[in-house]
Amino acid sequence: MQLTGAEITIRCLQEEGVEYVFGYPGGAVLNIYDELFKQDKVKHVLVRHEQGAVHAADGYSRSSTKTGVALVTSGPGVTNAVTGIATAYMDSIPLVIITGQVPTHAIGQDAFQECDTVGITRPCVKHNFLVKDVRDLALTIKKAFYLAATGRPGPVLVDIPKDVTQATTEFTYPKTVSLRSYNPVTKGHAGQIKKAVQLLLDAKRPMVYAGGGVVLNNAAPQLTRLVRLLGFPCTNTLMGLGAFPGTDPQFTGMLGMHGTYESNMAMQHCDVLIAVGARFDDRVIGNPEHFFRSDRKIIHIDIDPSSISKRVKVDVPIVGYVGDVLDEMVKIIESSPQRPDPAALKAWWADIKEWQRKDCLRYDAKSSLIKPQFVIEKLYEITKGDAFITSDVGQHQMWAAQYYKFDKPRRWINSGGLGTMGFGLPAAMGVQLVNPGATVACVTGEASIQMCIQELSTCKQYHLPIKLVNLNNRYMGMVRQWQEFFYGNRYAESYMDALPDFVKLAEAYGHVGVKVEKPGDVEGALREAFKLKDRLVFLDVITDQTENVFPMVPGGKGLTEMILAEEL
Amino acid sequence: MRHILSILVENEAGALSRISGLFSARGYNIESLTVAPTEDPTMSRMTIVTTGSDDVVEQITKQLNKLVEVVKVVDLTEGNHIERELMLVKVRASGKDREEMKRLADIFRGRILDVTDKSYTIELTGTGHKLDAFLQSIEPGVILETVRTGASGIGRGERVLRV
């Protein structure tokens, strides 16, 4: 049967089992929207800004195991989407972004709403395509879904000129696809795995460091099995929270710039380090030179060879899907008579316990001002640790990461790599749609929330009962913290003046708004908010302006050169 | 260290910019880059001459391999290889210099492709060093114009790069 390009696009999405498309119409995608209108298998979510569309598709993907889909028009539709695409790219989130383009004959003519989409997005996608012939369309979309979700996942963009959506061709959707130039190594090298296991069994001071790759590969059960089998301490990166249960006694907390004292000390002083789906980035190990002042053997499992030995030289690289590699490791250990030296392990745990006694996440709980940490602790209690938490970027993000204990993967949804303010609310929309009935909270700040606040309107339209916890300290908190520490208290432009009345704003969008100003009111307000199962509630929590995130490894410093709260 | 990377890449629009974009985005050097289709028209072969430490070149190779359109990458400098570059140079050739220029072209096994009463256009093939040596052996004032292809390379012996 002859179908138009627009029909083919929608048929492909149906074939891929796409439930929701997040998008915004415009001239170049009108044909596609017309076809969307004529069917009801693929549901469309109309956002209020294209950045929101991509973040929503991103949240949808992060909190499920599915590929997120966004649909935007040419020109400004694309440029608005770029922040969302780059966010997904940095965190390896599988997305397919379909963009309209001006007709093929107009490309290069500076046509209305034309931009070089493939050129603009090239550095922030896993791959992108410009479809110039309708006969290539179905195969290209198939390739896009395949590329997005396999190997190291990432966003893939398909740019479709308007005339291609009008042209017709015979439609068949390929069942499978293979590309001769794309064959990611997915199975870890058996010899390397054996070598790694031996190192682990011989370790005296081992440390497990797991990142977002574990979450993305759905390998949390395998990681948990390995860590428990060996009795080793385990830390997670910001992106890896939930990969190992946050309440497990073997969990030492997050590591890195705002990681726990014990995790960072253990990273520095271990003799064998196993990195699983993590990439030793600057926010995680600080200054690499300082990191190497201590001697240790490093095992690194990752799906992406280019992540291995990029910032840190490793001893045993293993390229492959982390879940399969961890499975192999567990198998080998289970069939081996050897176990790690119990005496050495006991001594190592004693060191860690000693570090834990610093109680690095302690804060002044008796303050008459609302402490942001306290709010997150209450949020954790009231949601019984079982909510999906999205966040924006800054201090509130770090506090949420530190004080909310994630026992399950895909519950903590934040922009780790790119650090995109404005991510939290639209991401929460995707989370709520793919997890209907689940408790979804967005921890945000008064600066971040205003970057995509227009999506409150989308939440109203689709009845998304997200709970926004706005830690309102009237500052771009993290910027203010750096200015306090490193710029002599010169708070250049970090004060958020002329803030809106968030309660009225929430109400104007048709939601419930509540202002919380006293520590004693925090718990009650949270309880009331979560009781309103079918309403979005915006909690504007007025917090202590001077609170800082501790511990902190200043930029460029070594991982153990932490500033602790007590030292100030 | 100087490295010659041979890359098989899908002959598709945008592949070149993906590769050159990778080099600029990650701050890698490109000394020269040549590309043309192979005997299989769906595939192009690219030769990139780059400089960097072993770690950097390892990263470059890994990053190139990560590009979806890149089929294969080989560092030719890891083994024995042949490297050639072609240069066209237009020189002033009049008076007593005319004979001398002809002789010099012969010494470097160059071929004179075009002649006017005042100039020669000489074709020279060789390693980059040889082409440099030729240019250094003539007076700078005599050179009217040069154009070089950048290096192409191939492994010696049985070593082949194909799908």
- DSSP collapsed to 3 states, A470-525: EEECCECHHHHHHHHHHCCCCCCCCECCCCCCHHHHHHHCCCEEEEECCHHHHHHH
CB A465 within 8 A of CB A532: yes
A180 contacts in B (CB within 8 Å)? Answer: 71, 163
Whether ipTM tops 0.95, in short, is no
pTM of the model: 0.96
**Residue B145 forms beta bridges with which residues?**
B90
A209-264 pLDDT, tens digit each: 999 999 999 999 999 999 999 999 999 999 999 999 999 999 999 999 999 999 99
Dihedral sign from CA coordinates of A45, A46, A51, A52: negative
Place of tokens 């990029």: A310
A152 contacts in B (CB within 8 Å)? Answer: 66
- Quick check: is A478 catalytic? yes
A444-489 pLDDT, tens digit each: 999 999 999 999 999 999 999 999 999 999 999 999 999 999 999 9
Nearest-CA distance from B33 to chain A in Å? 20
What pLDDT does residue A1 have?
84
Percent of chain A past pLDDT 70, that is, above it, reads 100
B69 contacts in A (CB within 8 Å)? Answer: 127, 181
What pLDDT does residue A398 have?
98
Nearest-CA distance from A147 to chain B in Å? 9
A16-27 pLDDT, tens digit each: 999 999 999 999
How large is the average pLDDT for residues A180-194?
Answer: 96
What pLDDT does residue B96 have?
84
A134-152 pLDDT, tens digit each: 999 999 999 999 999 999 9
CB of A2 within 8 Å of a chain B CB? The answer is no
Percent of chain A past pLDDT 90, that is, above it, reads 98
What pLDDT does residue B97 have?
84
CB B30 within 8 A of CB B20: yes
Residue B75 above 90 pLDDT?
A: yes
CB contact under 8 A, B71 and A180: yes
Q: Which structure tokens are listed for A459?
A: 């939440």
The minimal CB distance from A127 to the residues B62, B63, B68 is found for: B68
CB contact under 8 A, A181 and B71: yes
CB A21 within 8 A of CB A158: no
Backbone angles phi, psi at A147, to 5 degrees: -65, -40
Place A44 in a pLDDT band, splitting at 50, 70 and 90.
very high
Helix %, strand %, coil % of chain B (to 5): 30, 40, 30
| Shortest CA distance from B163: residue in chain A | A180
Collapse the DSSP code of A331 into the 3-class scheme (helix H, G, I; strand E, B; otherwise coil) and give the result.
helix
A510-531 pLDDT, tens digit each: 999 999 999 999 999 999 999 9
In this structure, what DSSP letter does residue A371 have?
P
Non-local CB neighbours of A221 within 8 Å, separated by 6+ positions: none
Collapse the DSSP code of A81 into the 3-class scheme (helix H, G, I; strand E, B; otherwise coil) and give the result.
helix
How large is the average pLDDT for residues B108-135?
Answer: 97
What pLDDT does residue A566 have?
75
What pLDDT does residue A383 have?
98
Q: Rounded distance, CA A304 to CA A306, Å?
A: 5
How large is the average pLDDT for residues A103-126?
Answer: 98
How large is the average pLDDT for residues B68-92?
Answer: 97
B28 contacts in A (CB within 8 Å)? Answer: none
CB contact under 8 A, A182 and B10: no
CB atoms within 10 A of CB A168: 15
CB atoms within 10 A of CB A517: 15
A287-344 pLDDT, tens digit each: 999 999 999 999 999 999 999 999 999 999 999 999 999 999 999 999 999 999 999 9
Mean pLDDT, all residues of chain A: 97
CB of A355 within 8 Å of a chain B CB? The answer is no
Cβ burial, residue A237 (10 Å; 0-12/13-18/19+): buried
How large is the average pLDDT for residues A540-555?
Answer: 96
- Quick check: is A507 catalytic? no
Nearest-CA distance from A298 to chain B in Å? 17
- Quick check: is A162 catalytic? yes
Residues of B in CB contact (< 8 Å) with A are 9-10, 13-14, 17-18, 21, 25, 55, 58-59, 62-63, 65-66, 68-71, 163
What pLDDT does residue B163 have?
86
What pLDDT does residue A567 have?
58
